[in-house]
C-alpha cells in the first residue's frame, strides 16, 4: 500500500511540473510608449519599391517600409525610401511617421527566407508629437511576393 501511495505522489509531482508552451508565429510586437503592443493581423508585400510590413491591432496600424527586401539594416528619418508609420483611427485619427529629417530609428531584416527582423522608431505627427516604438520584433510575417 505504501508503494502505491508513493507512486501516486510521484506521478502527481511529475504532472504538476509540466509547462504550457505557446507558439508566437507569426508575430509583430513591440513596446509602444512604454506599454506592450502586439498585432492581431499582419502582412508583408515585396515589389520593385521594396518591402512593406503592415501590422494591425484594433484601430492601430503600424507600417514598416524598406527600400529593399534584402537582409540588412535600414535607417529611418533620413529619407522617405525607408519609413515607419503609426496610425490610430480612433478618436478622429492621428498619423505619426518618419521621413526626410523626421523621426528616427531602424528596421533590421534578418536573413533566412522569411520576413523576420527587428525595428525601433520614433515617429512624429504634424504638430511634432511623438510616438515611440522600441524592442520591436517581426517574426515569420506572411508575405505576398
Is residue 4 in some structural domain?
no
Going by pLDDT thresholds of 50, 70 and 90, the confidence category of residue 144 is: confident
Cell of 117: 527582423
Structural domain contains residue 11? no
The answer to whether position 108 is within a domain reads yes
104: cell is 528616427
Report pLDDT digits (tens) over 83-111.
999 999 887 789 999 999 999 999 999 99
- pLDDT at residue 53 in the model: 97
CA dist 119 and 98 (Å) reads 13
Q: Residue 109 belongs to what domain range? A: 26-144
User: In the numeric block, which cell numbers belong to residue 129?
Assistant: 508629437
The residue behind cell 500500500 is 1
- Judge whether 120 lies within some domain: yes
Q: Is residue 17 part of a domain?
A: no
pLDDT confidence bin for 8, thresholds 50/70/90: low
Q: How many domains is the chain partitioned into structurally?
A: 1
DSSP assignment of the chain equals: -HHHHHHHHHHHHHHHT--------SEEEEEETTEEEE-SEEEEEEETTEEEEEEEETTEEEEEEES-SSSEEEEESS-SSSEEEEEE-GGG-EEEE-BTTB-EEEEEEPSSSSEEEEEEEEEE-TTS-EEEEEEEEEEEE-EE-
| Residue 90 covered by a domain | yes
Q: What is the pTM of this model?
A: 0.82
54: in domain = yes
pLDDT in tens, 122-132: 999 999 999 99
- 16 inside domain: no
Short-list 95, 80, 79, 107, CA closest to 131 = 95
Amino acid at each position: 500500500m505504501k508503494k502505491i501511495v508513493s507512486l501516486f505522489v510521484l506521478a502527481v509531482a511529475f504532472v504538476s511540473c509540466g509547462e504550457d508552451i505557446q507558439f508566437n508565429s507569426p508575430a509583430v510586437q513591440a513596446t509602444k510608449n512604454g506599454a506592450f503592443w502586439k498585432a492581431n493581423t499582419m502582412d508583408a508585400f515585396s515589389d520593385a519599391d521594396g518591402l512593406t510590413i503592415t501590422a494591425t491591432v484594433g484601430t492601430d496600424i503600424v507600417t514598416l517600409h524598406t527600400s529593399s527586401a534584402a537582409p540588412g539594416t535600414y535607417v529611418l528619418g533620413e529619407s522617405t525610401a525607408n519609413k515607419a508609420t503609426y496610425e490610430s483611427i480612433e478618436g478622429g485619427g492621428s498619423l505619426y511617421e518618419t521621413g526626410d529629417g523626421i523621426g528616427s530609428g531602424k528596421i533590421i531584416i534578418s536573413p533566412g527566407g522569411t520576413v523576420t527582423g527587428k525595428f525601433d522608431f520614433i515617429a512624429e505627427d504634424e504638430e511634432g508629437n511623438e510616438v515611440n516604438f522600441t524592442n520591436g520584433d517581426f517574426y515569420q510575417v506572411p508575405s505576398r511576393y
